[in-house]
Amino acid sequence: MLLSRVVQASQSARATSSRKKKTAAFAELLADADPAELAQVVAWISGELLQGRIGAGWRTLTAMEVEPAAAPTLTVAAVDRAFTDLGALTGKGSANDRRDLLTELFTTATAAEHDFLLRLLTGEMRQGALTAVVAEAVAAAFEVPIADVRRAHMLSGRLPVTALAARTGGAAALAAFRLEVGRPIQPMLASPGQALDAVLAEFDGAVSVEHKMDGARIQVHRDGDRVWVFTRTLREITGAVPELVELVRGLDCTSVVLDGETLALNDAGRPRPFQETMSRFGATTAQELLLHPYFFDCLHLNGADLLDAPLRERRAALTEVAGGLSIPALIAPDAEAAAEYFDGALAAGHEGIMIKALDAPYAAGRRGRAWQKIKPTHTLDLVVLGAEWGYGRRTGYLSNLHLGARDPEGGEPIMVGKTFKGLTDALLQWQTAEFPRHERERDDHTLYLRPELVVEVAIDGVQVSPRYPGGVALRFARVVRYRPDKEPGDADTIDAIRALLPETPLAAAESARD
């Protein structure tokens, strides 16, 4: 298959806001792809590379001066080989070799292919091809149920692998996917909850109430003496966290998969700042700061998969295998006990509580109502779209942030507000140094960023506003922290923000209109 065929489908998807039309364009493309090139095509239209990061940065790519080819000749296989060769370059002289390889690749590409490759290599595909859309295209292209595709993707953790199974073996091949110890699966996610009493009533009290810790999500696998540790983005960090590896290796079991949080504690046993915990995740070897795990789910134990079992059974398995390392929880408490537990979690330095339905299975990769987080104030994970230069004591610093919510249809992030509140001197210095690395463009007042950084903000509420394209604006937004453990695809959606609008006739009318 020629690369130009992939580019054509990408352009068709970018030209429409219709999810149905995006899906149809990609389904036709996938149906035309040979098995040997399907994985690459699926990865590219999802905005990813099979090789991961290959060292082709924004500055290197935009500095190239290459005349485009007159006619398309590049094949999918040739581009994939070039990416593999780029990823293998290391050591002295690799920068020059990388530039030469990129120049050779771009010299063979047409103008439209230039644009596609540039967006792919810099993480700016932004064609509305979220993984969910591509998954629907896989189902349509190979005539398999979308539910089967989603479950196989959840278990494999890799949509290109899922697509190849659907292409070569249909629904039977998708059904053959199982939880594989050592291969991470997408984590189950929580939705923001409202009043504590209302959430308890929603599940008729059949819930587990747990501390919502200010830690980093981890997924731990063990098979015999071998242990793997993964982040919430499924990145392996086993070598950087030997203390966690030793703790899991010491559990009384032959195989296990655990979901949980890890955080650093101070001498008094209280959680250290989130940034200190995350500093270990960027390391390649252990540092002096020790991490402590708090597991809250057991997905597999001694050869038995537990994904489809209700939480009450998974919790029993967790207590059996890792009771001393499990997160504190109350099972089916009354409203008064739950409220006291909430206060106790805050007093201990945690963010709040999690409320989880005891009868719900583990919905990997999905954000549903079965898990809800309750915090003293609403917090949102948003994408940083830009920053304005400060004035007064902030002159010379990038300060006022432009904040965007994720478009669930896969389009550009949707701006919902600005804030300069909560920015410490240290954060101002960090932003001013870091933001130019993500620059898209600038004017006299503002540096506009590629949508790559996620920041957590606290808000007092949401209000209807014609000022921003989503029709809503944040009230009294303030920065809590940056989230290096999250990607733009993990940010809260515009729908989640609209759901926080007060129930007034005007709000209802605005929501219905959108």
**Residue 332 belongs to domain with CATH number:** 3.30.470.30
Given 20, 22, 212, 421, the catalytic residue: 212
Structural domain contains residue 181: no
Answer with the one of 355, 374, 393 that is the final residue of a domain: 374
Give the tens place of pLDDT for each residue, 39-86.
999 999 998 888 887 777 666 676 777 888 999 999 999 999 999 998
- Residues 485/281, Cβ–Cβ less than 8 Å: yes
Structural domain contains residue 150: yes
The pLDDT value recorded for residue 364 is 73
Residues 368 and 389 in one domain: no
Reply yes or no on whether the pLDDT at 326 is more than 70. yes
Give the tens place of pLDDT for each residue, 179-193.
999 999 988 989 888
Answer with the one of 374, 408, 437 that is the final residue of a domain: 374
Closest CA to 157 of 187, 126, 190: 187
Structural domain contains residue 120: yes
Its pTM stands at 0.68
Cα–Cα distance, 487 to 38 (Å, whole number): 25
Instruction: Find the domain containing 140 and state its range.
Output: 3-175
Residues 63 and 139 in one domain: yes
Task: Identify which has the larger pLDDT, 171 or 197.
Answer: 171
**Residue 508 belongs to domain with CATH number:** 2.40.50.140
Active site residue 212: yes
Cβ neighbours of residue 196 under 8 Å, at least 6 residues apart? 335, 338, 339, 342, 353, 355, 374
Reply yes or no on whether the pLDDT at 195 is more than 90. no
Residues 166 and 309 in one domain: no
Count CA atoms within 13 Å of residue 337 on its CB side: 11
Q: SS3 for 228?
A: strand
Reply yes or no on whether the pLDDT at 377 is more than 80. no
Residues 220 and 319 in one domain: yes
The pair of three-digit structure tokens given for residue 194, joined into one six-digit string: 């409202």
How deeply is 296 buried, as exposed, middle or buried, from its count of CB atoms within 10 A (0-12, 13-18, 19+)?
Answer: buried
Residues 52 and 170 in one domain: yes
Distance between alpha carbon 92 and the CA centroid of its chain, in Å? 34
Percent of the chain beyond pLDDT 70? Answer: 90
Domains in the chain, number: 3
Cα–Cα distance, 219 to 417 (Å, whole number): 34
Structural domain contains residue 183: no
Q: Count the neighbouring beta carbons within 10 Å of the beta carbon of residue 287.
A: 12
Give the tens place of pLDDT for each residue, 95-116.
888 888 888 999 999 999 998 9
H or E segment to which residue 405 belongs: strand 398-405
Residues 322 and 360 in one domain: yes
The least confident of 210-214, 299-303, 418-422 is 210-214
Residues 223 and 348 in one domain: yes
Closest CA to 356 of 221, 202, 152, 157: 202
The pLDDT value recorded for residue 441 is 93
Residues 320 and 404 in one domain: no
Specify the pairing of strand 291-301 against strand 226-231.
Answer: unpaired
Average pLDDT of the chain to the nearest whole number: 88
Give the tens place of pLDDT for each residue, 228-263.
999 988 889 999 899 999 999 999 999 999 999 998
